[in-house]
């Protein structure tokens, strides 16, 4: 079997509560990524909408799979450009729940079909020191399924933002589901990002000996919310190979199976790991 290689484009953007403007920005950045040779384009969490209050997103929530305005934009762009797109977190309708949505990452294949979706498992309910109080669970229902999808031979594990603080999720994606690439689309707050963003992403790469791709929101979205930025790619040795600190743009990187296999052979931590019950 031929080893895989995959050029990715991780998108950094600053979403607001203007759905149309956000989707237009996404389309332009997807085009930029495709023009740069990316086969997989990863959008950050909240790419389509980021309001002042958690409940604001209810107005734009869609069914997944579906062809609503958000999913339709991704499907059209993927088919037009012939690329894979991961929409890193969009509001998905919860059947029978009028006050909550799922925070869902959708995977669209180059034909424009939705190939998979992942509902964020860990919800961000925190009082940030010297910062905001955020309660994602006020308007979000947690998911309960791990998802790994095959993207041109690469086993890609899905997660969203706050998930990165829970290493057991990534160990399960790698040990149980065979992931070699871990996606962490995010809207990490400026305060927590400055303290922990690089540390957590590098740790997940090192302990799971996998590529980590983290597409991020950046800058001030409104009077209450500011994101850290620093979209980056980490290799299976824990080295940051590409990064963008601020501003809209695309971070490119060439991922390969050889790097994963080499690190896992040199230091076979995964084969030594004991999964406690």
In whole angstroms, how far apart are CA 59 and each of 97, 99, 101, 143, 158? 13, 10, 10, 20, 25
User: Token pair of 256, please?
Assistant: 């390969």
Catalytic residue set: 45, 120, 161
Measured in whole angstroms, how far is the alpha carbon of residue 99 from the centre of its chain?
Answer: 24
Count of residues in the chain: 277
DSSP letter (8 states) at residue 38? -
Q: What is the spatial distance between Cα 100 and Cα 92, in angstroms, rounded to a whole number?
A: 9
Is the four-CA dihedral 14, 20, 21, 26 of positive or negative sign? positive
216, 227 in Cβ contact below 8 A? yes
Q: What is the spatial distance between Cα 60 and Cα 68, in angstroms, rounded to a whole number?
A: 9
């Amino acid at each position: 079997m031929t080893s895989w290689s995959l050029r990715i484009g991780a998108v950094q953007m600053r979403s607001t509560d203007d759905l149309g403007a956000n989707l237009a920005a996404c389309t332009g950045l997807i085009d930029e990524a495709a023009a740069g040779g990316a086969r997989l384009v990863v959008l950050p969490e909240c790419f389509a909408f980021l309001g002042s209050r958690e409940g604001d997103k209810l107005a734009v929530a869609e069914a997944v799979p579906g062809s609503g305005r958000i999913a339709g934009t991704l499907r059209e762009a993927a088919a037009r450009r012939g690329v894979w797109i991961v929409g890193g977190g969009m509001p998905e309708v919860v059947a029978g729940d009028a006050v909550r949505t799922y925070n869902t990452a959708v995977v669209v294949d180059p034909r424009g079909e939705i190939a998979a979706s992942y509902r964020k498992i860990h919800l961000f309910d925190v009082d940030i020191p010297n910062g905001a109080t955020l309660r994602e669970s006020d308007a979000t229902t947690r998911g309960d399924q791990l998802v790994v999808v095959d993207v041109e031979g690469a086993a890609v594990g899905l997660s969203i933002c706050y998930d990165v603080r829970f290493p057991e999720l990534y160990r399960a994606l790698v040990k149980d589901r065979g992931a070699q690439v871990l996606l962490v689309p995010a809207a990490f707050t400026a305060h927590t990002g400055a303290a922990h963003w690089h540390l957590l992403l590098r740790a997940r790469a090192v302990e799971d000996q996998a590529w980590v791709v983290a597409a991020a929101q950046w800058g001030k979205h409104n009077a209450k919310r500011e994101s850290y930025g620093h979209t980056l790619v980490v290799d299976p040795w824990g080295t940051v190979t590409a990064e963008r600190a601020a501003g809209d743009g695309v971070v490119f990187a060439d991922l390969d199976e050889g790097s994963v296999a080499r690190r896992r052979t040199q230091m076979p931590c995964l084969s030594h790991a004991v999964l406690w019950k």
